[in-house]
Amino acid sequence: MDTLRIKQAEDLIKKAGSASKGSETLKEPREGTINTELFEKAFKDLIKAEDFIYSSLPSHELSQEEAQVFTRKLLDAREKIEGMLADFGVMEKASSEDKIGKISQEFIFITTKSNFKKILVKMGVNVQHIIVAGVPLEAEDMKQINPKIPDAALKSINKKIEHVKNDISRKMEQLNLKNILVMAENDLSGQLLGKRAEDIYGAQVILEDNLKDLKAPELLKILSDAH
């Protein structure tokens, strides 16, 4: 690697290690041992991110898909860098899951499937803050999802919708929260749920192409941006 690429990688390390929103107090470093394996992994993440500097010449503009890959690598590196800083006492050792656990207390999450709920819980979201809709928030939207659904079946759907809406209202009251965040996959069910939740509750909507591939640092960034 030439001098220029090393300098650019160092700059990326500084950006990746920068504190995000909030006022975290950094302490004087203590004696310690460098976790060379973690450092190597962080550096590899940054080198992969650095490739976009060259592939995006001369404008350095990235498409949404490219930006997702680029920022994912920076977030992966940042988590490793924060771990090394914690080893030297510069900052408190807190995993992305720990941070998600704190910031997620300010949201009620609505998603479309139980397995998405499990993914969110695994990454630190309090299960009491998650609602699985399973149905759209308006019966007429079901016709878009399944045009052949008989009218008789819509009566059952309406009952489920009423239950979901009651569940949302109850949690908003119990938890004293108004911040609704829809997290689902970018398919028709997710799009319809997001649109209705936005109209009814003023919800913020995050639709991922593959929600199961979402990592904790990425969710942390989503919540920080939505905060």
Question: DSSP secondary-structure letter at 128?
Answer: G
pLDDT at 21 (0 to 100): 43
pLDDT at 5 (0 to 100): 57
Q: What is the mean pLDDT of the chain?
A: 87
The confidence band for 58, taking pLDDT boundaries of 50, 70 and 90, is very high
* Tens digits of residue pLDDT in 87-110: 888 887 677 888 899 899 999 999
In DSSP terms, which residues pair with 130 in a beta bridge?
Answer: 109
Indicate the domain borders of the chain. 3-18+32-93, 98-226
Closest CA to 81 of 70, 91, 71, 72: 91
Closest CA to 107 of 181, 171, 22: 181
What's the whole-model pTM score? 0.65
* Tens digits of residue pLDDT in 3-39: 665 555 556 555 555 544 444 678 889 999 999 999 9
Report the C-alpha gap between 6 and 47 in whole angstroms: 9
* Tens digits of residue pLDDT in 191-202: 999 999 999 999
Question: What are the CA-CA distances from residue 23 to residues 5, 26, 87, 102, 124 (Å)?
Answer: 31, 9, 20, 15, 21
Instruction: Please determine, for residue 159, whether its predicted confidence score (pLDDT) is greater than 70.
Output: yes
